[in-house]
Amino acid sequence: MPELYRELINLADSDMYPFHMPGHKRNVQSTPLKGAFRCDITEIDGFDNLHQENGLILEAEKRAAKLYNAEKSFFLVNGSTSGVLAAISACVKENGTILAARGSHKSFYHAAYLRHLNIDYLPIKMLNEYGIFDGYSGYDVERALDEGGRAEAVFITSPTYEGRCSNIEEIAKVCHRKGIPLIVDAAHGAHFGLGEGVPDSAVHLGADVVINSLHKTLPSMTQTAIIHINGNLIDEKKIKRFLSIYQSSSPSYILMSSIDLCIKEMEEKGEAYCEKLLQYRNMVGKEAEGFENIRIPGTDILQDPAKILISSRFSSMTGQQLYDILREEYHLQLEMAGEKYALAIITGWDTEDGILRLISALREIDARGSSVLPEMSAESDNEDENFEVCINELPKRALFLSEAWDDDKEIVPLSECEGRISGEFINLYPPGIPLIIPGEVIDKKLIEDISRYLAKDLNVQGVFQVKNGENKGIIGKRGLVCVKPK
């Protein structure tokens, strides 16, 4: 069976001369990217069309669907972003309602904005011990659906960025009893279900639409992803329509062949990949058992073995300090820093040398005993008090997201925002949650929370400086974007 990637090389090796796009004519010689340039084409004869596939690309997608046990799979060259936008647009009617967690990816909110959706929220559930989002049970979703009662689809992120899973099997059953589809943002779980010892895939557990970022944990290039669909609650034509809206009409053959290569690699070596990943994970976990200051939760807590959350909660270090030490002193670049943790991603493509460097660095950092906080233990009843971030209640909504984000706005000094309607997203990273979204009412607690986060130098996005206008004397002060009163 012809493979996309091999056909591109065959073409490059042939005497067929390109009087077509791209303009580089596969003739860029001077860079390490030259191998990629050599395979970079457009939709010429024999190379199919991502948006109306019936040849090479369709065959490649079929192989991917088989690997993931999906009825249909479509390649994404605009990231999971385009998959989330398309899935929500196709599954929920305009002005309809969707049930989701507050901490969903921004592409979720963008879809809700574009399609004028009403969002029903699941209650915020945190794993307080680590300051990260918890997963959801079938019961959580059932209760939220019963309370809201109008949702046309449920949107769940599993695994989370930090590797925590929801009970997709239960949630899918709840959704199907109600006759609505379950969309799973499994951007971080492309490796799930591909071998022994990693969690099962959301496709296999009964989700109707599943989106995987192939680049996050598998050997595929950044910006590549895949969307799987299953069952009769999904209108495949609508999914395809929205994918053709949200994705370039000139999709990259480099990205598509990278997806094809990745699928082939996982077909052939998926088991070995997962074995290696688990071996690496166990090496780190075993070492961590002896640590006194830093903690690494096991896969009983963070089910995804590709995520290593290195908690500094029982030391005086912040997550950022831990991250910086690893980067600056040990030249280990981690994925991100939380308030009291740093997060590493490992995969089957790591080298043993790399893993040993991480272990050795963590051992040394742990041994810097002076930074241990006395009188603390994981079993402490007051563990929440270690965290600045404690998000429980959602702001009240005055306008729909789509109304408020498009409305006329002004920047109002933080101290004067109480009671005003937000005109922007204010996000806290991590854990990556909107503290408020356009259309919600800014209350006193939110102002206090934002002030506290800012004072602690946490990463709050969506706070601006007051620039001009009526508020003389306070230019330069911090302010929030508010909807102008009518």
By C-beta, is 93 or 177 nearer to a second copy?
A: 93
CB of 320 to a second copy, least distance (A): 11
Return the number of the residue (39 or 210) whose C-beta is nearest a second copy.
39
Contact 100, 122 (CB under 8 A): yes
Tell me which residue of 102, 187, 162, 107 sits closest to 428, measured CA to CA: 102
Question: Judged by CB, which is closer to a second copy: 333, or 370?
Answer: 333
* Minimum separation from the CB atom of position 192 to a second copy (A): 13
CA nearest 129: which of 390, 434, 335, 324? Answer: 390
CB-CB contact of 5 with 260 (8 Å): yes
To a second copy, the closest distance from the beta carbon of 107 in angstroms equals 7
Diameter of the chain measured on Cα atoms? 74
Nearer to a second copy, 111 or 171 (CB): 111
| Smallest distance, a second copy to C-beta of residue 219, A | 4
User: In angstroms, what is the minimal distance from the CB of 381 to a second copy?
Assistant: 33
CB nearer a second copy, residue 333 or residue 392? 333
d(CA 166, CA 202): 10
**Pick 250 or 415: Cβ nearer a second copy:** 250
CA angle at 154 for the pair 149 and 156, rounded to the nearest 5°: 140
> Smallest distance, Å, CB 439 to a second copy?
15
Report which of 163, 160, 142 is spatially closest to residue 151, judged by C-alpha positions. Answer: 142
Q: Does an H or E element contain 277, and which?
A: helix 253-289
Would you mind telling me the total number of residues written for the chain in this entry?
A: 486
What would the two tokens of residue 212 be?
């995987």
Q: Please give the Cα distance from 379 to 451 (Å, whole number).
A: 30
Q: Which residues contact 148 (CB under 8 A, 6 or more apart)?
A: 97, 99, 120
Nearer to a second copy, 103 or 251 (CB): 251
- Those residues whose C-beta lies under 8 Å from the C-beta of residue 180, and which sit 6 or more positions away, are 151, 152, 153, 154, 233
State the nearest-atom distance from the C-beta of 167 to a second copy, in Å.
25
DSSP, collapsed to helix, strand or coil, labels residue 309 as: strand
Residue 304 vs residues 300, 320, 472: alpha-carbon distances, Å: 9, 22, 52
Six-digit token string for 451: 């002030």
Report how far residue 311's alpha carbon sits from residue 271's, in angstroms, rounded to the nearest whole number. Answer: 30
CA within 13 Å, CB half, 300: 1
Cβ atoms of 223 and 76 within 8 Å: the answer is no
**Residue 47 vs 121, nearer CB to a second copy:** 47
Least gap, CB of 396 to a second copy (angstroms): 24
> Would you say 43 or 140 has its CB closer to a second copy?
43
In angstroms, give the least distance from the CB of 87 to a second copy: 15
